[in-house]
Chains A and B, each alone.
Chain A
Amino acid sequence: MLKDKLLIRRFNRGESDALRRIYEKYRDDLLKVAAALLNDRSDVEDVLHDVFVSFAQTVGNFQLSGSLKGYLSICIANLARDKNRGTQRQRTVGLNNAGPIRSGITGPEHSAMRSELSQQLDYAMAQLAYEQRETIILHLQSKMRFRQIAKSKGISVNTVLSRYRYGLGKLRSILDGEFKK
């Protein structure tokens, strides 16, 4: 946290090395957040790109009130939601055969590498409402506290908690159903 504040101070002074460090520090986590939230995973890299370009434009002005990782994760989540809406619109126009989540990396080799459980989880996550998926991922991957999520989304903690609980409950019932097959 202190290190982040220092990085932000240096970033606001216009030090390009600070931006590079922030990118390297959070890139992998943010890519996972994007991959978990996007319906079309070929957009993952673009979402990270757009978030970092927007972030870079705040130089000199950026103020950190919570955690930097949380802030960037929320940016990723917001952009992923917008992208998903775009994808949804495209689908209704003519891509009705597209699955709920499409991997940008396909082929038998990749499929073989993924365990059956991962695929079941992938499927189950895709069945969740976006808000539930978002809450679960921001909490478990970005380690954001429920109150942080509530504050950044402008909703009550109780709403966040109920999205989280219902999301986990739905995952459980989907997985139970899958395992019984």
Chain B
Amino acid sequence: MQIAFLYIVITVLMAAVIAAFGLPFLVAGWLFARFTRGAIADGPRIALAAAIAALGIAPNYDAYQGPLPIYMRLVRGEPAPLVASLVALVITWLMLLAVARFFARRRVTVA
């Protein structure tokens, strides 16, 4: 339980760093969603945009419990175990998807 809490605290503390490293992917996801509006149905469009963003910020935790985006680990030549990376990618994608849908619904409501 304490370990789980430790991971949460670390992730919260490192959120800004992770977001900064993932910024190119976050921007790419946002641009994708914006420029494919009307060309792709909302559901798959938002799912794809969230997936692009998730690629940039899905964290991998090193031996020190320090998180960095998976792609950064790969760029730096550091190990990023496949299963843990896939799990992190899916969880991050689902979280981003939820956030994106929330904002999309809010925009529709406001409009």
A and B from one complex: no
